[in-house]
Structure 1
Amino acid sequence: MSSKELKYCFQNVSAERLRSLINTICDVSDETRAIFEQELLTQEQGATLRKTKPGQPRYLKCENCEKEFDVTENIKDSCNYHEGELETNDDFWVDDDQYDHDPSYPLESEHHRKTFPEGFIWDCCDEQLDAPGCIVQKHEHKLDKQHDKVDGREATGEDGPVAKKARIE
């Protein structure tokens, strides 16, 4: 089989099947497993640079912007997103009564959001749909929050040991 045919297969096979195949190959090939570990897990050097522990997943999905990010390159302004709700911009749609009356032509559709981003605004900052996020920070993931608790950074928070001790007393 040619490389072209195999690449075509990769594009058309399910992600679940690919994951299963990768697991099987890694179980039988130390060399292949080492390649995946090198590519997908944090290493000592990257871990030291970005305060991540070696052997952790290198690529995660941000809970805020929903983009995949490299934890070794996650800096204070890597993520930007809106925390508010998207609303229609009534000033933009003022002459379009058809949207209010015709259910087959819904105003708040994916088509309208893509075609008319100026017709929608974020309630958190009053900027239009395609404006950069008004919150800029590091990407966040569940693993970050778990590590914060383990490292004691939430020690005085609602779930930290200080708060738990106060509830007991």
Structure 2
Amino acid sequence: MPISEETLQASVLGRAIDEASNETVRAVLKSTCAKSDEAHKEAESRLVAVITDAKDEPGAAKTPVPRYAVCVNCEKEFDVTTNTKKSCRYHPRKCEPTGEELWDDNYDEFEVDTEEMRQDFPHCFTFGCCDGNLEDNPEGCVNDFHEEPHSNEKPAKRARAC
């Protein structure tokens, strides 16, 4: 009988999984999948998707691909099977320090374009694509497909996961 996710979460094993590094969890998962056909099939059903040619041709080639990727635009993980034209929101151009407040009292004594300065003065960092700033429009001015790191094209039509 399978163990429920709630039971696993409350167990010592569940806590060990939560506390282990990503590298350790990946190594254990790969090792478990190599030793157990059932574990391999379960992992594959959750982590691999099948894509088909966007032309909707009968008998079009189907290719297995990783189901999850990190978008190069918004830097968020996404499921390739649910990626749509409105899934990703991002700014196509970087924000630059533009606020005078950044240089008041600093007199060029230190770097102004840092994460700390972006957090402390979000209104002083402006995007070249829309003239919005980190305070008013941090999410983005463009909606589009999430973009996979290796892809130079729009996503192909996605079929359901394996």
Q: TM-score, normalised by structure 1?
A: 0.68
Find the partner of 2:142 among 135, 138, 154: 135
Mapped pair 1:30 → 2:7: no
- Aligned partners of 2:82, 2:44: CA distance in 1, in Å? 18
1:40 aligned to 2:47? yes
Q: Percent identity?
A: 33
Matches within 5 A, 1:79-90: 79-90=88-99
Structure 1: gaps (5+ residues): 149-169
Query: What number of residue pairs does the alignment pair up?
Result: 139
Matching of residues 88-127 of structure 1 within 5 Å: 88-91=97-100, 93=101, 97-103=104-110, 106-127=111-132
Structure 2 residue 14 is the aligned partner of structure 1 residue 7: yes
- Structure number with the bigger relative contact order (C-alpha 8 A, sep ≥ 6) is 2
Counterpart amino acid of residue 25 in structure 1:
T
Counterpart in the other structure of 2:79: 70
Q: Which letter does structure 1 place at the counterpart of 2:69?
A: L
**8 Å Cα contact 2:99-2:123 kept in structure 1:** no
Amino acid at match of 1:56: V
The Cα shift of 1:147 comes to: 9.0
Aligned match for 1:16, one of 20, 23, 30: 23
Q: CA offsets per residue over residues 92-135 of structure 1, 9 Å max, x none? A: x17x62133543xx432212212331121111211011413122
Do the aligned partners of 1:61 and 1:68 also contact (CA within 8 Å) in 2? yes
In angstroms, what is the RMSD of aligned CA positions?
2.9
State the AA in 2 paired with 1:129. Answer: L
Higher CA-based Rg:
1
Inter-CA distance 27–146: structure 2 relative to 1 (3 Å threshold): farther
Distance 2:80 2:70 in 1: 10
The 3 A distance-change label for structure 1 pair 84 and 10 is same
Give CA deviations for 1:125-153 in whole Å, capped at 9, x if unaligned: 110114131222101114443898xxxxx
More strand by share: 2
Structure 2 unaligned runs (5+)? 1-7, 156-162
